[in-house]
Structure 1
Amino acid sequence: MAEAKYDVLAIGNAIFDVLVRADEKFLVDHGMTKGSMTLIDEVRAAAIYRDMGPATQMSGGSAANTIVGVASFGGRAAYVGKVKQDQIGGLYTHDIRAAGVAFDTRPATGGPATGCSYILITGDGERTMNTYLGAAQDLTPDDIEPAAIAASRIVYLEGYLWDPKNAKDAFVKAATIAHGAGREVALTLSDSFCVDRYRGEFLELMRERTVDLVFANEAELHSLYQTSDFDAALAQLRKDVKLAVVTRSEKGCMVASNDGVVAVPAFSIERLVDTTGAGDLFASGFLFGLVRNAGFENAARLGALAAAEVIQHIGARPQISLKELAKQNGLPV
Structure 2
Amino acid sequence: MPNTHYDIIAIGNAIVDVLSAASEDFLAEENINKGSMQLIDADRAEMLYTKMNAGHEISGGSAANTLVGVAALGGRCAFIGQVADDCLGKVFQHDIRAQNIDFKVPLRDAEIPTGRCLILVSPDGERTMNTFLGVAQYLHSEAIQPEMIEKAAILYLEGYLWDPEQPRAAMREAIKIARKAGRKVALTLSDAFCIERHRDDFKQLINDGLIDILFANEVELKSLVQHDDFDRGVSEVAEKLPLLVVTRGPNGAIAIKDNIRTETLAKKVERVVDTTGAGDLFAAGFLAGQARDLSIAASLEMGAIAAAEIISHYGARPERDIKKVIESALNVSLN
TM-score, normalised via structure 2 length = 0.97
Q: CA deviation at 1:210?
A: 1.6
In structure 1, the residue matched to 2:70 is 70
Range with bigger deviation, 2-11 or 40-49: 2-11
Find the aligned partners of 1:97 and 1:158 in 2 and give their Cα distance. Answer: 19
The CA deviation at 1:241 is 1.5
Equivalent residue, structure 2, for 1:33 = 33
Q: Which amino acid aligns with 2:130?
A: N
Kept in 1: contact 2:278–2:310 (CA 8 A): yes
Shift of 1:247: 0.4
1:50 maps to a residue whose letter is T
Conservation of the 8 A alpha-carbon contact between 1:114 and 1:135: yes
Q: How many residues align?
A: 333
Query: Is 1:124 matched with 2:135?
Result: no
Q: Distance in 2 between matches of 1:102 and 1:195?
A: 29
Partner-residue secondary structure (3-state), 1:255 = strand
Segments of 5+ residues of structure 2 without an aligned counterpart are: none
Q: Contact 1:2 / 1:151 at 8 angstroms: preserved in 2?
A: no
Q: Shift of the alpha carbon at 1:108?
A: 0.8
Kindly provide the CA deviation profile for residues 138-167 of structure 1, in whole angstroms up to 9, marking residues without a partner as x.
101110000000000111001011111010
Alignment partners' CA distance in 2, 1:174 and 1:253: 28
| In structure 1, C-alpha distance between the alignment counterparts of 2:322 and 2:286, rounded to whole Å | 12
Residue type at the aligned position of 1:60: G
User: What does residue 157 of structure 1 align with?
Assistant: 157
Contact 1:305 1:326 in 2 (8 A): yes
Kindly report the root-mean-square deviation, in angstroms, between the aligned alpha carbons of the 2 structures.
Answer: 1.0
The 8 Å contact of residues 13 and 161 in structure 2, kept in 1 or not, is answered as yes
| TM-score using structure 1 length | 0.98
Deviation string 1:178-237 (CA, Å, 9 cap, x unpaired) is: 111111000000011111111111111111112111000000001000111011101101
| Contact 1:203-1:240 at 8 Å conserved across structures | no
Residue identity over aligned pairs, in percent, reads 46
1:52-201 equivalences in 2 (<5 Å): 52-201=52-201
Q: Which stretch shows the higher mean deviation, 304-313 or 93-102?
A: 93-102
Q: Distance in 2 between matches of 1:237 and 1:246?
A: 11
Counterpart amino acid of residue 297 in structure 1: A
Deviation at 1:26, TM superposition (A): 1.0
Q: 8 Å contact 1:186–1:212 — kept in the other structure?
A: yes
**Which residue is 1:44 aligned to?**
44
User: Quick one: distance in 2 between partners of 1:50 and 1:164?
Assistant: 26
The residue that corresponds to 1:245 in the other structure is 245
**3-state secondary structure, aligned to 1:133:** strand
Letter aligned with residue 69 of structure 2: G
Instruction: Establish whether residue 323 from structure 1 lines up as the match of residue 323 from structure 2.
Output: yes
CA distance in structure 2 between the partners assigned to 1:165 and 1:49 by the alignment: 27
Conserved? CA contact 2:17–2:60, under 8 Å:
yes
CA distance in 1, matches of 2:281, 2:126: 16
Whole-Å separation in 2 of the counterparts to 1:72 and 1:267: 19
Contact 2:282-2:304 within 8 A present in 1 as well: yes
Which runs of 4 or more aligned residues in structure 1 lie more than 3 Å from their structure 2 counterparts after TM superposition?
Answer: none
